[in-house]
């Protein structure tokens, strides 16, 4: 690779890295429409139904609570949110009837 080509390649990589560094997920929160069970592991209780993996409910988030979303875990049959609330970390299973996504305040 000649000098000119190396220079172009390094400029391209620097530009790509700068763009990637500036792009990050917007912080989101969930607002509970009804009580939400916060579980220990990133999969639903009694999943899979044929031979359930160990998981337990850590606590219940009350209706109208706002909880911070740290990450999303997508399984074959489910979507879990990794969340942080005043009691710590955990996971809640996505259910459109029980929650809504909202921007976090501050």
Q: What is the pLDDT of residues 44-63, one digit of tens each?
A: 999 999 999 999 999 999 99
Q: Which tokens hold the place of 20?
A: 């990637």
CA distances from 49 to 41, 67, 90, 105 (A): 16, 28, 21, 38
pLDDT for position 51: 93
Domain ranges of the chain: 26-103
Determine the average pLDDT of the residues in 80-92. 95
Biggest CA pair distance of the chain: 64
- Yes or no: say if 63 and 33 are a contact pair by the CB < 8 Å rule: yes
* CATH architecture entry for 26-103: Roll (2.30)
- Yes or no: say if 92 and 81 are a contact pair by the CB < 8 Å rule: yes
d(CA 94, CA 105): 21
> Which residue has tokens 């990450």?
71
Q: What is the pTM of this model?
A: 0.72
pLDDT at 103 over 80: yes
Q: Which tokens hold the place of 54?
A: 């160990």
């Amino acid at each position: 690779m000649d000098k000119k080509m190396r220079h172009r390649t390094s400029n391209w990589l620097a530009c790509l890295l700068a763009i990637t560094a500036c792009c990050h997920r917007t912080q989101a929160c969930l607002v509970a429409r009804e009580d939400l069970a916060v579980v220990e592991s990133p999969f639903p209780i009694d999943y899979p139904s044929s031979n359930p993996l160990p998981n337990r409910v850590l606590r219940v988030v009350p209706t109208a609570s706002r909880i911070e979303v740290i990450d999303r875990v997508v399984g074959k049959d489910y979507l879990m949110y990794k969340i942080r609330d005043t009691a710590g970390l955990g996971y809640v299973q996505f259910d459109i009837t029980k929650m809504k996504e909202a921007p976090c305040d501050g």
